[in-house]
Structure 1
Amino acid sequence: MSVVTQLEQAALSSPLKLETAQQSTKLRAFPADASIVLIGSRGSGKRSLGFIGATHLGRRFITEDHYFEEATGSSRGLFIRKHGAQEFYRRNVEVLRQMLDQNRTGCIIECGMASLAKDAQKALFEYSKSNPVIYITRNSQRIRQLLNLGQEEASRLETADLAHRLCSNMEYYNMHDPSCDKSDGLATPPEHGSPNVSSRLKYAKEDFSGFLDFLTGQGVIRSGFESPFSLAALPPEFRAYTYALSVRMASIPELDLEQLEAGADAVQLKIDAWRPDIQKFMGKQVATIRRKLGVPIIFHVEEYVFGDAVLTRAEKEDIYLGLLEYGLRLGVEYIVVDLQWSPDRVAQLIQRSGRTKVIGHYLARDDINWGWEDESRMIQYRKAQNLGCDMVRFVRATSAESDNVAVRNFIRKIEAIPSHLPIIAYNLGPYGRASLISNRIFTPVTHPTMNTTVSKSQMRRFLPTAKESMDALYQMSILDPLHFYHLGASVFYSLSPAMHTAAYQVCGMSHDFVSLQVSSVEDIHRLCQNPQFGGAAITQPYKVEVTKRIAAKSYHAKAIGAVNTLLPLRMLPGAVPLDGSTESLLRQANQRSKAGPVVAYYGDNTDFIGIQTCLRRNVSPRNVVQPSKTTGLVIGAGGMARAAIYAMMQLGCRKIFLFNRTIEHAENVARHFNSWASGLSTDGDIVRVLKSREEPWPASFRHPTMIASCVPARTVGNEGPANFEMPVQWLGSPTGGVVAELAYFPLITPLIKQMRSFQQDSNIPWVIVDGLEVLPEQAIAQFELMTGRKAPKQRMRHEVLQEHHRYEHS
């Protein structure tokens, strides 16, 4: 019998039992640098996720198996053969305790089979009081296939695995990643965590990186620091007119979620039915929403989740709060707490909420004895505030149109209170739509494709879609139609208007977006002085020159020295837009979709986001960025080349070479970045210039594994097409890498043709990224900066492909 099997049987026969009262010690308020521990069964994907997490957070990756071998001088199998099972169990737990105690910060720790032992689980439980301990789950059938298990063995493994839930404080459902279906093997890093496999796992990277950003708070801190206009800098509850798509958990398997993304700032996941495997099922649905829609989740347990079960109020409260506790384990961004339950129990739940925000909720289904003017509403508001809720929601079923005026007066009354909680308040029923339209935070909405599903509460039939709500705001002149532009010397083949226009249409916005050829920065300034100017995409050759006319820039634009996104700054009541303060810019950001005199400009850069996203998504674990080793190569010296250099630096690359036909331009760009990044590298300059295509690759540097070609394939202004091909002596990486071609007219450039041929002849795993993969990623970020709305990503990606196809065949 194997060591693993013995431990599984031991866990099954004597699972760890913890007192319910002890669970309240798990507060989930972790220091940002607290080490993160991953536990779970064999085949759950802990090691791959651990490697992804360590790379994303820039942390040391520790695997228990490798740590045991270093601590004891032998592998687990050899140790048990030499010393016997009893001594192995003792030493195994001892090593695990040592591993945890000595690595409390700055690490991602993957626990192997030691986590099945009772004493090890006690140690993990204690560790969970100060650090995140994440239980990784996965589809049981997938684990069975990966491990080639029989039914009996698989059942034993699954039962033993449940003990992990008791010694952890977070949970993550590891969805299957179709990007690795054709890869060699299981894409699992080896014992020591070195990247020597070649699966991309691109969806898993995005999913788990986002989960860790939320858990550590890194995502909000980073985005807020970088740009006050980013969506993360201003959470949905502080933005004007945000929408929560209301989705029943039981209906998710029947829905094509990607069709539902338009206009949703969040998804309200309604836990609507009990089932024996409800915890794992909820985990899977949360993971599905994250992957398909990528928006915050509002976790809402419905009263009818109890079904027809005959339960006491105390039993219902236990189940209800237990389900909300599980939502906290899953790391959802928001939970809805019905404040009809015991204040003490609710306060304890809120204390354990960590980074999850709590929406205190009051629902009145009977409109006879419930009025918006009643003083009891203010008492309920103060109760929510005293309990520690982050916001409060009042919902009333009504059949009186006059209640819509009453609810607006109630909201104004709350907003007049200094330092008030964000307030959500609306009526539901045949006359409630006007109150839904005027509600500003997380208005519940439906989607046309969901009309065939049946809501148990029967309230969905009263909900508008996000598009209908936005349409109404423009019709009522609450929001203004604005003009957006793509400006440059050669924009005839621009795909931007198609992408942005399609996004406006699907989101219900009354804006327009056109491409205009300009011959100077003064032309740009004149166009952008229109009071209805909403924003402009700036392209060659003005990305650097236009920075001279900008009053405030994002952190990125300053670092890159180039701008591709221009936003208006208007004179707002009580605001001085020219002071450039974060508070002033946040106020400007919350007035997007409002017209008015333009007094200054804000500049940002999303080019680097498109490049960075595609490089990170397509780099293999074998070529993961290591600052002391990884080399990047950028072709060109214009605004896009600057963005590519910055993208590589953001990924951690500290050795970047630049090649351009005009050496002087390349040297200017190199000086800019070496001056800006002085101190980031201990090996001298970060950016170095290659002066000739004929020179061999510098012998003291590794060959590049990240390459970005940023030269146009068509004539721009007085510049002829580059038609660049890579010197073969620069393609010496034995592990291949990623080549991103940013040009897309024509799509198959000389470089793309060359790399496809080289890849085939050499059998080296180069990943080739064309311009149509990069373009929509930067446009998505640009749309969100310009409008303050979540972009309909799938629609924009689809539209760019369709429009490019029309151009190529016209």
Structure 2
Amino acid sequence: MVAETQLEPPLLDSSLGLSSTSRPQSPSTRQFLPEASIVLIGSRGAGKRTLGFIGATHLGRRLITEDHYFQATTGVSRGGFLQQHGTRAFYRRNIEVLKQMLDQHRSGCIIECGMGSLSSPAHKALREYSKTNPVIYITRARHRIRSLLRLGDDEALRLEAADLSHRACSNLEYYNLYDPCCDGIDTPPENGLGNVSSRLKYVKEDFCYFLDFLTGQGLIRNSFESPFSIAALPPECRSHTYALSLRLSTIPDLDLVELEAGADAVQLKIDIWDPDLQTVIAKQVATIRRKLGVPIIFHVEDYALNDLSLSVEQKQTAYFELLECGLRFGVEYIVVDLRYPSDLIAHIVDCSGPTKVIGHHLAKEENSWEWNDESYMIQYRRAKSLRCDMVRFVRATSKASDNDAVESFVAKIKSIPDHLPIIAYNLGENGRLSLIANQIFTPVTHPLMRSTVSKAQIRQFLPTAAEALQALYQSSILDPLHFYHLGAIVFYSLSPVMHAAAYRVCGMNNDFQSLEVSSLEDIRQLCQDPNFGGAAITQPFKVQILSHIAAKSYHAKAIGAVNTLLPLRMLPNNKFPDGSIQSLLDHANQRGKAGPVTGYYGDNTDFIGILTCLRRNISPRNVVQPSKTTGLVIGAGGMARAAVYAMIQLGCRKIFIYNRTVEHAEVVASHFNSWAAGLSKDGKVVHVLRSILDDWPAGFRQPTIITSCVPARSIGDEPAANFEMPIQWLGSPTGGIVVELSYLPLETPLIKQIRLFREETKQAWVIVNGLEVLPEQAIAQFELMTGRKAPKRRMRLEVQQHYRRYE
């Protein structure tokens, strides 16, 4: 296939290591219509088809593959056409079909291009298409492509050289990072209905996040979030956010998983030169996203290009080419130095798309402008006129008095109407107080980096995120607060160990304890404490407490149950909470402060734990199709409500609920059928199953999503449900996913049954136990309660380490 393109290996350019044929174009914009079709191009073996299938199912779009389209258009496969008509005719027809495919599918699709994209006419068509649509170049580790395609050295080199040409006709780039869960399953069959493993967890999460950012779907989804959710407000709009400072040169020496420490972003500093720098950066961007899961601030250091013997003009060109690379990788923020010409900065802003631009000014010499110099205001106004999204000023100093000066400067900026978010601090040991006082993206390090990274490679004066938060407690900017898990029976709760561990990692002076309560009055008395920070509410109070809450999240209203209670306090200027979004946002930025409680806000994170695990584990073969997919929920309590809501959020419109007490199931069904009446043609989304002896209802497919929300052991006077699925309800030919919310014991009767059933039938049933769901809802709860990014890995580890004491 490579030989057909007749492409010669490109010559290297002297500035950035980009070839004359592979240097990315500089698009005028990366803003696309919401439904603009997305094109995937790249080498064989890069994983385009798998990613296309994942993306199409995630966005609810049609997947178009070039091979399938060629056969549908010509009536014969590409290989068959080549054999019948010869190389020249195949070449011409291939280009015609590619252009026709692109032209006829400009919206609502994900298009996977085959090797036909390597020819020059195809490049021209794709470049033209990229003016209105995203064209994503999919890359992958070369040795993995060689291994997957079983290529010899010469053939691999020809393929790699030809593949580089894809950069020139794309406007975005995605590095398909190796996922140890997906060996041998890179290529689903042409119709997309193959038994692709459900364990593409990381690939699915990574690529879906990338698409959400690109298309704006993430923003749409976040608009439904609680004002207290950290997803509802970007980091620059929250109080005291931190950016873990990582140099590209140090990343290979670090285990990024160990660096999770409550930071809100990673500042990736490009500080080295490499002959294949784009690929190096692409891989590390992908690695940061997978291991840390936070936004990336892309910052090119001047000295990265110092060893290349370039002229000033060449360095400037190389600098902006590197910024273009950052935009291609879809980073959330990009730093642009304000000392460069305005027209070049304006161009970066114009083509930044969803990436936010931080105008940056660094004064390396202490004898440069003082903080009260008018030159800083001139630079601020210039950044605003260039349409930067925020501005950052950094100044070297040896004087502690400059910390007061920078605070005065920030106050001056904030007094300007509609001012840009501002980051400002001093460098050096004497600037530490200014770092603590800075409120947006304060650069921080990590304790492990101090022992594993050369002192010459990190700024030793940087605090860790935990140290920065500790300083806020010491200065009484933040107050220690009390958090609880409240319910009739909470002896088995793992919430205290998860939350307490998260407080320690993040440097927070809070405490968390489980308390048994017998009434709503007990809850009210505890929550009137001025140092009350929030509570996890469990049965039997999740529904009862609704009548005592001043304001509820969209999700809590829809579910009809609350599992997270947050205090509302008097705002500055003696403002009472009025329930408006702005008022609630103001309260969200007051978290961490004690004071008289004037009301309560209710939310629900139970559904987040279920939804996260469903999205992560459901196989592409059983992806939710509203007109076909059937879900089943066992139980009728607060968790069952959350499970129904999670399925609705996934797009499932045919949900059945079974409960031993049929009347309770009918109450839940009635609630959701009233709330979701417009989501189904017949106005009914949730149906009640009356007996486990009944056959599965005629006219509905067998369930492929099953969630059990009943206890597997007796609690108090309540007998254990010990539920097992009726065999006549396990008839899905494609298997499905079973989520067991109970973890006492971990091996519930249902899990044992499904595991045995899977072995006997060889059907692809995926099992998710309660210990996978539990921390996901607690992670969301921690972030609601504190406004801080949760140390997810640590919280998950705490669950695994402590649950056995309850077995």
- What range describes the TM-score normalised by the shorter chain of this pair? over 0.9
Of the structure 1 ranges 616-625 and 129-138, higher mean CA displacement relative to structure 2 is found in 616-625
Aligned-pair distance for 1:456? Answer: 8.2
Distance 1:707 1:565, change over 3 A: same
Counterparts of residues 68-107 of structure 1 (less than 5 Å): 68-107=70-109
Q: 1:411 and 1:573 mapped to 2: Cα distance? A: 20
Q: 1:223 and 1:257 mapped to 2: Cα distance? A: 27
Residue in structure 2 matched with residue 418 of structure 1 by the alignment: 417
Residue type of the alignment partner of 2:189: P
Q: 2:555 and 2:70 mapped to 1: Cα distance? A: 43
Aligned-pair distance for 1:5? Answer: 2.8
Conservation of the 8 A alpha-carbon contact between 1:9 and 1:156: no
Gaps of 5+ in 1: none
Gaps of 5+ in 2: 13-17
Q: 1:128 and 1:574 mapped to 2: Cα distance? A: 51
C-alpha offsets along residues 4-52 of structure 1, whole Å, 9 cap, x if unaligned?
A: 2333434758999989999444310112221111110100000111111
Residue in structure 2 matched with residue 191 of structure 1 by the alignment: 190
Q: 1:716 and 1:547 mapped to 2: Cα distance? A: 24
Conservation of the 8 A alpha-carbon contact between 1:26 and 1:128: no
Residue in structure 1 matched with residue 278 of structure 2 by the alignment: 279
Q: 1:149 and 1:22 mapped to 2: Cα distance? A: 27
Q: 1:263 and 1:13 mapped to 2: Cα distance? A: 44
C-alpha offsets along residues 311-355 of structure 1, whole Å, 9 cap, x if unaligned?
A: 221111111111111000000000111111122111111111111
Q: 1:132 and 1:288 mapped to 2: Cα distance? A: 22
Counterparts of residues 308-707 of structure 1 (less than 5 Å): 308-454=307-453, 460-573=459-572, 578-683=577-682, 685-707=684-706
Match of 2:34, SS state, is coil
Residue in structure 1 matched with residue 793 of structure 2 by the alignment: 794
Residue in structure 2 matched with residue 177 of structure 1 by the alignment: 179
Q: 1:31 aligns with which of 33, 51, 54?
A: 33
Residue in structure 2 matched with residue 154 of structure 1 by the alignment: 156
Q: 1:574 and 1:128 mapped to 2: Cα distance? A: 51
Residue type of the alignment partner of 1:28: R
Residue in structure 1 matched with residue 64 of structure 2 by the alignment: 62
Of the structure 1 ranges 60-69 and 21-30, higher mean CA displacement relative to structure 2 is found in 21-30
Q: 1:770 and 1:695 mapped to 2: Cα distance? A: 27
Conservation of the 8 A alpha-carbon contact between 2:10 and 2:21: no
Conservation of the 8 A alpha-carbon contact between 1:14 and 1:118: no
Aligned-pair distance for 1:774? Answer: 0.4
Match of 2:349, SS state, is helix
Q: 2:563 and 2:677 mapped to 1: Cα distance? A: 25
Match of 1:513, SS state, is strand
Distance 1:459 1:290, change over 3 A: closer
Aligned-pair distance for 1:458? Answer: 5.9
Q: 1:20 and 1:178 mapped to 2: Cα distance? A: 30
Of the structure 1 ranges 76-85 and 560-569, higher mean CA displacement relative to structure 2 is found in 76-85
C-alpha offsets along residues 120-161 of structure 1, whole Å, 9 cap, x if unaligned?
A: 111110111111110000000000011011111011001000
TM-score by length of 2: 0.97
Aligned-pair distance for 1:781? Answer: 0.8
Residue in structure 2 matched with residue 200 of structure 1 by the alignment: 199
C-alpha offsets along residues 360-383 of structure 1, whole Å, 9 cap, x if unaligned?
A: 111111102321111111111111
Q: 2:574 and 2:265 mapped to 1: Cα distance? A: 30
Residue in structure 2 matched with residue 774 of structure 1 by the alignment: 773
Conservation of the 8 A alpha-carbon contact between 1:741 and 1:769: yes
Conservation of the 8 A alpha-carbon contact between 1:429 and 1:459: no
Match of 1:337, SS state, is strand
Matched, 1:6 2:3: yes
Distance 1:749 1:335, change over 3 A: same
Aligned-pair distance for 1:594? Answer: 1.2
Conservation of the 8 A alpha-carbon contact between 1:62 and 1:192: no
Matched, 1:52 2:54: yes
Residue type of the alignment partner of 2:608: I
Q: 1:262 and 1:766 mapped to 2: Cα distance? A: 35
Conservation of the 8 A alpha-carbon contact between 1:540 and 1:716: no
Residue type of the alignment partner of 2:261: A
Residue in structure 1 matched with residue 730 of structure 2 by the alignment: 731
Aligned-pair distance for 1:533? Answer: 1.2
Conservation of the 8 A alpha-carbon contact between 1:480 and 1:595: yes
Of the structure 1 ranges 578-587 and 339-348, higher mean CA displacement relative to structure 2 is found in 578-587
Q: 2:127 and 2:186 mapped to 1: Cα distance? A: 30
Residue in structure 2 matched with residue 754 of structure 1 by the alignment: 753
Matched, 1:297 2:299: no
TM-score by length of 1: 0.96
Match of 1:231, SS state, is coil
Residue type of the alignment partner of 1:778: Q
Q: 2:24 and 2:169 mapped to 1: Cα distance? A: 11
Match of 1:502, SS state, is helix
Conservation of the 8 A alpha-carbon contact between 1:219 and 1:232: no
C-alpha offsets along residues 728-771 of structure 1, whole Å, 9 cap, x if unaligned?
A: 11111122111111011111111122222222222222111110
Q: 1:748 and 1:779 mapped to 2: Cα distance? A: 21
Distance 1:728 1:628, change over 3 A: same
Q: 1:504 and 1:234 mapped to 2: Cα distance? A: 22
- Number of residue pairs matched by the alignment: 802
Residue in structure 2 matched with residue 113 of structure 1 by the alignment: 115
Match of 2:678, SS state, is coil
Q: 1:102 and 1:394 mapped to 2: Cα distance? A: 49
Aligned-pair distance for 1:194? Answer: 3.0
Q: 2:684 and 2:239 mapped to 1: Cα distance? A: 45
Distance 1:269 1:438, change over 3 A: same
Q: 1:576 and 1:416 mapped to 2: Cα distance? A: 21
Q: 1:313 and 1:574 mapped to 2: Cα distance? A: 53
Q: 1:24 and 1:173 mapped to 2: Cα distance? A: 20
Q: 2:535 and 2:148 mapped to 1: Cα distance? A: 50
When the two chains are superposed, the root-mean-square deviation of aligned CA atoms in Å is: 1.9
Conservation of the 8 A alpha-carbon contact between 2:397 and 2:430: yes
Match of 2:307, SS state, is coil
Of the structure 1 ranges 420-429 and 716-725, higher mean CA displacement relative to structure 2 is found in 716-725
Q: 1:718 and 1:240 mapped to 2: Cα distance? A: 46
Residue in structure 2 matched with residue 137 of structure 1 by the alignment: 139
Conservation of the 8 A alpha-carbon contact between 2:24 and 2:170: no
Q: 2:424 and 2:442 mapped to 1: Cα distance? A: 9
Aligned-pair distance for 1:225? Answer: 2.4
Conservation of the 8 A alpha-carbon contact between 2:25 and 2:169: no
Q: 1:434 and 1:133 mapped to 2: Cα distance? A: 45
Aligned-pair distance for 1:713? Answer: 2.1
Residue in structure 2 matched with residue 125 of structure 1 by the alignment: 127
Q: 1:86 and 1:801 mapped to 2: Cα distance? A: 62
Conservation of the 8 A alpha-carbon contact between 1:229 and 1:585: yes
Match of 1:637, SS state, is coil
Residue type of the alignment partner of 1:162: L
